[in-house]
């Protein structure tokens, strides 16, 4: 079957209500308790090409003037001059910059990797180029009004699909040693499964070769939320166990192609977050009979099985690969010393990090409080599945941005767990950014577009100790994303104001000091990836929230280093073991 030609797809199901689509959920272990009324005769099969998918589901997309791969523009040495120091003593002492002494008991080990991360839909642009088919995010951004608050799309984004050589050259020029990117599943397999798009594979060949040419370690994520649209509309995407086989097949294609050159892999990015996308907006995507509140747990169940299967495929091809899942959550500070708040903290770990980390590191099964809930509707993992999931991460990869205060619901935890209509059900813990006095913040707030995020770097050592103690990862811990949205950065209009980013600079400095402290106390941290390589498409916030250590002028696609880029690399210039 050629790419431009055909695909049989259940088109009629794509916009229909759940009763017609129920059967695909019915026959599987994870969904055995779902009822279904049997197959509907009112389903037809239609041949659809990649172009048809764009026309039917997305509509016209924007393009940029640079639309072939370009050689890197030279990086002027003047752009590599670090900013003046941001730190001053609190009282005038007659010296402008305080004397800062290197702490000789701190070091990043020799083989530490330190770099930047990005993700396909957020940076690549070139939405329709070279055979790419739509993912759910093309539909969410183009078709669902206000799903992206600015109604912007990733059509062009940072034009990284054509400008990656420059992007990699800039990473190297800054002195970073790692670039972490994600692969676009719907470029490589436009229909999610079936025919392979060789042009996409060739593109990533060159991204990887360019990294190697510049002495930058390439690291790749298989899935950063951009689900091929066809898989959503054929069987409900991550809500269906069918995703496991398709993801494994995709993983096999990618591992086979790149395993000799890429040694660091991540299967899926932050399943808590993308599973939380479900239920997808009605009328745009295939729906299901699974109750809304349970959908993310079905998604998580299949994500664990898919991750585990992909892990084994990669390791059987090349046992020296490092393959992991990217976890997320945040440090949980008990808000008061009450026993109810202590229990709330335990529940919070179980419903966040524990959801995926316990299965992967601690024997293949869910943690206690999460399990109590999901076993009321999901079939438990079989012994075979547990054995398959257990031990499927070579490092503990955590996107560890921030911290929260955790406390019990006002009505108490047990009143909540017994009441499905409680607003905090099923996790039944509460969280806040303020201390128990309700007045002071956990740390300076990020941009209001990222209300979940504060600069809470004081808790990083405790967080790292917690991860090491609870999940005891044999290959150590990596902070695979960290960063902050500088407040109101999008309002700044002149370049010097934009590139002077004091909160982000302080965040990276203090965070890296916290890692140095934790390392000196015996925590095995092996790498860090700043989020992000540059300002990009921040999902539902569009381009209004900025996480980059570089600014990108989206009119010209010129890149500029921010002060934080220098702060970040400086920590390694000073503390990397020679
Ligand atoms: C990560 N939270 O998402 C993603 O991996 C990136 O794609 C994203 O751009 C980046 O962080 C910044 O948002 C998160 O609510 C989204 O705790 C939300 C949370 C954490 C991470």
Looking at residue 41, what is its pLDDT? 75
From the CA of 45, how far away is ligand 1's center (Å)? 38
Angle between helices 198-213 and 242-258 (to 10 degrees): 50
Looking at residue 92, what is its pLDDT? 59
104 catalytic per annotation: no
Residue 20 in this model has a pLDDT that exceeds 60: no
Looking at residue 96, what is its pLDDT? 57
Residue 326 alpha carbon, nearest atom of ligand 1: 5
Looking at residue 98, what is its pLDDT? 58
**Residue 119 beta carbon below 6 angstroms from any ligand 1 atom:** yes
Backbone angles phi, psi at 101, to 5 degrees: -100, 135
**Residue 404 beta carbon below 6 angstroms from any ligand 1 atom:** no
Average pLDDT over residues 438-445: 97
Looking at residue 521, what is its pLDDT? 98
Smallest CA separation from ligand 1 atom 15, residue: 452
Over the Cα atoms of the chain, what is R_g? 24
From the CA of 480, how far away is ligand 1's center (Å)? 11
Percent of the chain with pLDDT over 70: 91
Residue 88 in this model has a pLDDT that exceeds 60: no
Residues 236, 193 contacting (CB under 8 angstroms) = no
Residue 9 in this model has a pLDDT that exceeds 70: no
Backbone angles phi, psi at 420, to 5 degrees: -60, -20
Tell which wins on pLDDT, 435 or 42. 435
486 catalytic per annotation: no
**Residue 531 beta carbon below 6 angstroms from any ligand 1 atom:** yes
Residues 6 or more apart whose Cβ sits within 8 Å of residue 396: 324, 327, 357, 361, 467, 468, 471, 473, 475, 476, 477, 478
Residue 270 alpha carbon, nearest atom of ligand 1: 5
Looking at residue 99, what is its pLDDT? 63
At residue 288 the predicted structure's pLDDT band, cuts being 50, 70 and 90, is: very high
Length in residues, the chain: 578
Kindly report which listed range (26-30, 103-107, 428-432) carries the lowest average pLDDT score.
Answer: 26-30
Average pLDDT over residues 135-139: 99
Residues 6 or more apart whose Cβ sits within 8 Å of residue 339: none
Looking at residue 371, what is its pLDDT? 98
At residue 429 the predicted structure's pLDDT band, cuts being 50, 70 and 90, is: very high
Average pLDDT over residues 474-500: 98
Looking at residue 26, what is its pLDDT? 24
User: Out of 124, 166, 353, 481, which one is annotated catalytic?
Assistant: 481
Residue 407 in this model has a pLDDT that exceeds 80: yes
Residues 6 or more apart whose Cβ sits within 8 Å of residue 140: 147, 148, 280, 281, 284
From the CA of 187, how far away is ligand 1's center (Å)? 23
**Residue 540 beta carbon below 6 angstroms from any ligand 1 atom:** no
pLDDT in tens, 449-483: 999 999 999 999 999 999 999 999 999 999 999 99
From the CA of 144, how far away is ligand 1's center (Å)? 21
Residue 21 in this model has a pLDDT that exceeds 80: no
Residues 6 or more apart whose Cβ sits within 8 Å of residue 277: 136, 225
Per DSSP, 321 falls in state -
What DSSP element (H or E) covers 407?
strand 403-407
Looking at residue 84, what is its pLDDT? 81
**Residue 240 beta carbon below 6 angstroms from any ligand 1 atom:** no
Residues 447, 545 contacting (CB under 8 angstroms) = yes
pLDDT in tens, 144-167: 999 999 999 999 999 999 999 999
Looking at residue 236, what is its pLDDT? 97
What DSSP element (H or E) covers 558?
strand 558-561
Residue 531 alpha carbon, nearest atom of ligand 1: 10
From the CA of 416, how far away is ligand 1's center (Å)? 28
User: Which residue among 149, 268, 399, 433 has the greatest number of ligand 1 atoms within 8 angstroms of its CB, and so is best to mutate?
Assistant: 399
Superfamily of domain 61-86+100-409+436-575: Glycosidases (3.20.20.80)
Looking at residue 45, what is its pLDDT? 84
Residues 201, 188 contacting (CB under 8 angstroms) = yes
Residue 248 in this model has a pLDDT that exceeds 50: yes
Tell which wins on pLDDT, 62 or 40. 62
**Residue 328 beta carbon below 6 angstroms from any ligand 1 atom:** yes
Percent of the chain with pLDDT over 90: 88
Average pLDDT over residues 278-297: 96
Residues 498, 492 contacting (CB under 8 angstroms) = yes
| DSSP, residue by residue, 120-145 | HHHH---TTGGG---BHHHHHHHHST
Residue 452 alpha carbon, nearest atom of ligand 1: 15
From the CA of 34, how far away is ligand 1's center (Å)? 32
Instruction: Share the mean pLDDT of the chain.
Output: 92
Angle 435-564-331 from CA coordinates, rounded to 5°: 30
At residue 10 the predicted structure's pLDDT band, cuts being 50, 70 and 90, is: very low
Euclidean distance between CA atoms 428 and 138, whole angstroms:
34
Instruction: Count CB atoms within 10 A of the CB of residue 494.
Output: 7
The position carrying tokens 């940029």 is 64
Residue 136 in this model has a pLDDT that exceeds 60: yes
From the CA of 482, how far away is ligand 1's center (Å)? 9
Smallest CA separation from ligand 1 atom 7, residue: 119
Looking at residue 331, what is its pLDDT? 98
Residues 6 or more apart whose Cβ sits within 8 Å of residue 357: 327, 396, 470, 471
Kindly report which listed range (29-43, 335-349, 422-436, 509-523) carries the lowest average pLDDT score.
Answer: 29-43
**Residue 180 beta carbon below 6 angstroms from any ligand 1 atom:** no
Looking at residue 275, what is its pLDDT? 98
Euclidean distance between CA atoms 529 and 533, whole angstroms:
9
Residues 195, 189 contacting (CB under 8 angstroms) = yes
Looking at residue 85, what is its pLDDT? 72
The sign of the torsion formed by the CA atoms of 215, 258, 547, 518 equals negative
Looking at residue 43, what is its pLDDT? 82
Average pLDDT over residues 201-227: 99
Looking only at Cα atoms, what is the longest distance across the chain? Answer: 84
From the CA of 221, how far away is ligand 1's center (Å)? 15
Euclidean distance between CA atoms 87 and 120, whole angstroms:
36
pLDDT in tens, 328-340: 999 999 999 999 9
Looking at residue 519, what is its pLDDT? 98
**Residue 242 beta carbon below 6 angstroms from any ligand 1 atom:** no
Average pLDDT over residues 41-57: 92
Where exactly are the structural domains of the chain?
61-86+100-409+436-575
Euclidean distance between CA atoms 507 and 457, whole angstroms:
7
Looking at residue 475, what is its pLDDT? 98
User: Which residue among 539, 546, 548 has the greatest number of ligand 1 atoms within 8 angstroms of its CB, and so is best to mutate?
Assistant: 539
């Amino acid at each position: 079957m050629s790419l431009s030609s055909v695909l049989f797809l259940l088109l009629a199901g794509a916009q229909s209500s759940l009763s017609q689509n129920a059967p695909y959920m019915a026959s599987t272990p994870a969904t055995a308790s779902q009822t279904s009324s049997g197959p509907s005769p009112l389903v037809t099969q239609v041949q659809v090409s990649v172009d048809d998918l764009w026309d039917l589901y997305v509509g016209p997309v924007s393009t940029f003037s640079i639309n072939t791969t370009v050689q890197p523009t030279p990086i002027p040495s003047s752009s590599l001059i670090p900013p003046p120091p941001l730190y001053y003593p609190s009282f005038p002492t007659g010296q402008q910059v305080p004397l800062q002494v290197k702490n000789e008991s701190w070091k990043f080990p020799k083989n530490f990797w330190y770099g930047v991360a990005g993700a396909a839909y957020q940076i690549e642009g070139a939405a329709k180029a070279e055979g790419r088919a739509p993912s759910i995010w093309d539909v969410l951004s183009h078709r669902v009004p206000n799903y992206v608050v600015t109604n912007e799309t990733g059509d062009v984004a940072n034009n990284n699909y054509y400008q990656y050589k420059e992007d990699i050259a800039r990473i190297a020029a800054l002195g970073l040693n790692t670039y972490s990117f994600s692969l676009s599943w719907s470029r490589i397999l436009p229909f999610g499964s079936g025919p392979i798009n060789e042009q996409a594979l060739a593109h990533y060949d060159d991204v990887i070769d360019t990294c190697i040419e510049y002495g930058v370690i390439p690291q790749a994520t298989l899935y950063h939320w951009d689900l091929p649209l066809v898989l959503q509309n054929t069987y409900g995407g991550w809500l269906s166990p069918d995703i496991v086989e398709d993801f494994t097949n995709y993983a096999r294609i990618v591992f086979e192609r790149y395993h000799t050159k890429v040694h660091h892999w991540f299967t899926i990015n932050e399943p808590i977050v993308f599973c939380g996308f479900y239920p997808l907006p009605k009328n745009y995507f295939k729906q299901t009979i699974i109750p809304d509140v349970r959908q993310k747990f079905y998604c998580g169940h299949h994500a664990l099985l898919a991750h585990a299967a992909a892990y084994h495929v990669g390791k059987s091809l090349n046992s020296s690969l490092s393959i992991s899942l990217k976890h997320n959550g945040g440090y949980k500070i008990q808000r008061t010393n009450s026993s109810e708040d202590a229990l709330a903290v335990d529940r919070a770990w179980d419903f966040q990090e524990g959801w995926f980390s316990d299965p992967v590191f601690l024997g293949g099964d869910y943690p206690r409080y999460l399990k109590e809930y999901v076993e009321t509707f999901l079939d438990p993992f079989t012994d075979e599945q547990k054995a398959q999931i257990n031990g499927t991460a070579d490092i503990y990869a955590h996107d560890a941005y921030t911290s929260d205060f955790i406390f019990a619901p006002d009505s108490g935890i047990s009143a909540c767990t017994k009441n499905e209509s409680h607003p905090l059900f099923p996790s039944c813990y509460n969280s806040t950014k303020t201390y128990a006095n309700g007045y002071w913040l956990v740390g300076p707030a990020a941009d209001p577009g990222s209300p979940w995020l504060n600069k809470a770097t004081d808790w990083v050592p405790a967080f790292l100790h917690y991860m090491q103690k609870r999940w005891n990862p044999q290959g150590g811990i990596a902070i695979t994303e960290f960063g902050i949205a500088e407040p109101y950065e999008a309002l700044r209009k002149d370049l010097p104001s934009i590139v002077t980013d004091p909160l982000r600079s302080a965040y990276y400095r203090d965070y890296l000091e916290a890692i140095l402290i934790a390392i000196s106390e015996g925590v095995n941290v092996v790498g860090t990836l700043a989020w992000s390589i540059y300002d990009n498409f921040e999902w539902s916030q569009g381009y209004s929230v900025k996480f980059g250590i570089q600014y990108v002028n989206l009119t010209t696609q010129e890149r500029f280093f921010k002060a934080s880029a220098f702060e970040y690399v400086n920590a390694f210039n000073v503390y990397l073991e020679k």
